[in-house]
Amino acid sequence: MTTVSRTFDVRPAPAVVVDYLKDFSHAEEWDPGTESCTRNDSGPVQVGSTWHNVSKIAGVSTELTYTLEQLTDDTIVLVGRNESATSTDTMTVVPSPDQPGGSRITYEAVIELKGAKKIADPVMKIVFEKIGSDTEDDMTTVLNRLGG
């Protein structure tokens, strides 16, 4: 199992950030590995909403179905699953103590490889640490464009 976590501040208020991040189709804008992320259902984004995500990581394409499993005023939990992995992305958004009116985001990704793929865990930790840094940079840029 690989865990990568980042905490950073952005200008928009928590409600703006949560409203944006709960729609995982936006991952195309801030997740450097995501090639496409398409919503499978319609209507308001809510617990149970799902997305088809196609990502390329270290040159390997993978497809996962993500489900919004938790949504509160300050927490978003999305779980992606396929036959070889489960990825749990937890985003906590609270008022920033350093950015008046802004948000502090803690983004944690837990990637659990299944079966024979588990042998790649040590290598994947290195790969996902780099992706985590790139995601923080991209997410900060995109969210700051929302205003605040």
pLDDT at 119: 47
Q: Which residue has the higher pLDDT, 135 or 87?
A: 87
Domain boundaries, the chain: 2-145
How would you write the chain as a 3-class SS string? CEEEEEEEEECCCHHHHHHHHCCHHHHHHHCCCEEEEEECCCCCCCCCCEEEEEEEECCEEEEEEEEEEEECCCEEEEEEECCCEEEEEEEEEEECCCCCCCEEEEEEEEEEECHHHHHHHHHHHHHHHHHHHHHHHHHHHHHHHCCC
pLDDT at 6: 92
Report the percentage of the chain scoring pLDDT > 70. Answer: 85
Q: Which residue has the higher pLDDT, 27 or 129?
A: 27
Q: What is the pLDDT of residues 23-46, one digit of tens each?
A: 999 999 998 889 999 999 999 999
Maximum distance among all Cα pairs of the chain, rounded to whole angstroms: 48
**Rounded (10°) CA dihedral 147, 102, 127, 82:** -80
| Interatomic CA distance for residues 71 and 111, integer angstroms | 20
pLDDT at 9: 96
The domain defined by 2-145 folds into Alpha-D-Glucose-1,6-Bisphosphate; Chain A, domain 4 (3.30.530)
Q: Which of 8-22, 51-65, 122-136 has the lowest mean pLDDT?
A: 122-136
Q: pLDDT band for position 60 (50/70/90)?
A: confident
Q: What is the pLDDT of residues 77-125, one digit of tens each?
A: 999 999 988 999 999 999 999 989 999 999 998 988 886 444 445 556 5
Q: Which residue has the higher pLDDT, 15 or 135?
A: 15
What are the C-alpha distances in Å from 53 to residues 16, 50, 76, 92, 128? 23, 10, 17, 21, 17
pLDDT at 118: 47
